[in-house]
Structure 1
Amino acid sequence: MHLCIDMQRLFADETAWQVPWLPHVLPAVVEIATRHAAHTIFTRFAPPATPSVAEGAWRAYYERWPQMTREALDPGLLDLVGPLARLVPPARQVDKPANSAFSRPGLASALKRRGITTLVVTGGETDVCVLATVMQAIDLGFRVVLPTDALCSTSDGAHHTVVALFGARFSSQVEATTTQDLLRRW
């Protein structure tokens, strides 16, 4: 299954959370998702309506970023970027309240019921939502394939550090590759 993390206008457009790398990795993500649309799940980061309804440490986070709550945002910014939005359906889209794709209740159990054992993870940010998703996927027993040219971050250094971490510490569970190699083998 291809899990594409948070390739939304929220991160592509000029917002406080814009990820400048996103347009550069978008062609690779589109290629993977187009070839395997029926086996793709797009996650969307879904901020709370207001900081006051956020729980725990998330409340302080959104008090720092009140302009990024649904109360303040143009609702269209939560949409997937255009080339990916056109793939739904057959691809599926799920909203998540926190960094990991698995913060979406029931996602892991739905994948396991379908017999999914390997996840191809693309999207952003490498050092935040992708990192959280991959670490939880490892804990849940999934094998993870990361086409590193289909991952993006606002920080080059953090991106490279996380990719190196996966190779150095998690090579039994995580395989770093390229989009071209992934598509040749899938």
Structure 2
Amino acid sequence: MADAWLVVIDHQRIFADPASEWCAPRFAETAPVVARLATHFDDRVLLTRWLPGTNRNGSWRAYFDKWPFADRPDEDPFFDLVPTARDLTDRPTVDVTTFGKWGPELAAVTGQYPHLVLAGVATDCCVISTALAAADAGCTVTVISDACAGSSDENHAAALQVMGLYAPQITVLDSATVLA
């Protein structure tokens, strides 16, 4: 995995804060795993952030009607990186208004057909959305199971199972295997 990129998906306050409706219950358990992985990947680490943006067209209107607490300006501190993520890389964050993070912004840094190693939240939303889009685009994807947190343990396990069905384009491994 010498040429792989670690993509840390949405290590933001909105997903880490226990008071948030979107808190991933095991978020805090993943932070040290992500930090170990980042050390291993050196300067090939990218951080993403989900931002609400201003698009309230189509299904996004219903989405923000359901989750009004998240309908804030992009600059709101709720969308800041958590302290444990801030020093993982000197690169700027890749900020997008979609669940899936694979797209022109990431490709501009990683190239068109990279090997992406995914960590972050939520396994059952932004991680799976990123993995499937990247695999469809021809990327090789490795999802680190213990570096991801879902909206619940059950949803985390279900998302990992679904992504595992996409082998060999998507592989699900634990951090010990990757760091060995």
| TM more than 0.5 | yes
- Distance in 2 between residues matched to 1:87 and 1:117, nearest whole Å: 20
What is the aligned partner in structure 2 of residue 120 from structure 1?
A: 117
| Structural RMSD (CA) | 1.9
Q: Do residues 16 (structure 1) and 17 (structure 2) align?
A: no
What is the aligned partner in structure 1 of residue 61 from structure 2?
A: 59
- Distance in 2 between residues matched to 1:48 and 1:16, nearest whole Å: 19
Decide whether the 8 Å contact of 1:33 with 1:84 is kept in 2.
Answer: no
Decide whether the 8 Å contact of 2:16 with 2:27 is kept in 1.
Answer: yes
- Distance in 1 between residues matched to 2:88 and 2:154, nearest whole Å: 32
User: Which structure: greater helix fraction?
Assistant: 1
What is the aligned partner in structure 2 of residue 98 from structure 1?
A: 98
| 5+ residue gaps, structure 2 | none
- Distance in 2 between residues matched to 1:37 and 1:79, nearest whole Å: 22
- Distance in 2 between residues matched to 1:106 and 1:81, nearest whole Å: 21
Instruction: Pick the aligned partner of 1:5 from 4, 9, 27.
Output: 9
Normalised by the length of structure 1, the TM-score is 0.86
| TM-aligned CA deviation for residue 118 of structure 1 | 0.6
- Distance in 1 between residues matched to 2:12 and 2:137, nearest whole Å: 26
Which SS does the other structure have where 1:180 is aligned? helix
Normalised by the length of structure 2, the TM-score is 0.88
Which SS does the other structure have where 1:3 is aligned? strand
Identical columns (%): 30
What is the aligned partner in structure 2 of residue 86 from structure 1?
A: 87
Q: Do residues 111 (structure 1) and 110 (structure 2) align?
A: yes
Decide whether the 8 Å contact of 1:30 with 1:83 is kept in 2.
Answer: yes
1:134-145 to structure 2, matched below 5 A, reads: 134-145=131-142
| 5+ residue gaps, structure 1 | none
- Distance in 1 between residues matched to 2:11 and 2:40, nearest whole Å: 17
* Corresponding residue pairs, total: 175
- Distance in 2 between residues matched to 1:40 and 1:144, nearest whole Å: 14
